[in-house]
Amino acid sequence: MKIVIGSDHGGYILKEKIGKFLSERGIEVTDIGTYSEESVDYPDFAAKAVSLILDRTVELGVLVCGTGIGISIAANRFKGIRAAIVYNSDAARLSREHNNANIFAVGARTMDHEEVLKNLEIWLNTEFSGGRHERRICKMDNF
Ligand code: RB5
């Protein structure tokens, strides 16, 4: 599996931890930055990550900012992107089962980093249920 990871400066430290966590599990990681805690703009990193998902270079993405809010709002501007802010284990499971989320978004300043990694494991191991959920997702793609 190939996954793109990205963050702004607020999410940089957690993005680095996530990259290590994924690599250790044999996942091919594309890190589109940022690469330090120097101030940058989260929409730029959301757009870069999204482009790799939409052109099918990678299957899924992980985006981190201070809260997970700005970077997920930016990612969700693109048709075909379903970025979910994953705030607990139920959200991890249901965002895959029901929403077929293709981006796992989290906040480095508002969430416990160890818990984020546990939720990421759940997210990666959960499949989309399809059925009525497929119909709902299709509706969003036709807005
Ligand atoms: C950057 O200071 C901060 O605004 C950003 O990381 C994020 O939390 C925005 O939603």
- For residue 137, the domain's CATH number is 3.40.1400.10
Residue nearest to atom 10 of ligand 1 (CA): 70
Which residue's CA lies nearest to atom 7 of ligand 1?
A: 66
| Nearest CA among 44, 45, 34 for reference residue 9 | 34
Tens-place pLDDT, residues 124-143: 999 999 999 999 999 998 98
Q: What is the pTM of this model?
A: 0.98
Eight-state DSSP code of residue 35 = -
Q: Give the residue, by CA position, lying nearest to ligand 1 atom 2.
A: 10
Total structural domains in the chain? 1
131 CA distance to ligand 1 centroid (A)?
Answer: 36
Range of the domain at 9: 2-141
Gap from CA of 105 to ligand 1 centroid (Å): 13
Pocket test for ligand 1, best of 7, 42, 111 (most atoms within 8 A of CB): 42
CA–CA dist 28, 36 (Å, integer)? 21
**Tokens matching residue 9:** 């400066």
pLDDT, one tens digit per residue, over 30-74 is 999 999 999 999 999 999 999 999 999 999 999 999 999 999 999
Q: What whole-number distance in Å separates Cα of residue 18 and Cα of residue 108?
A: 11
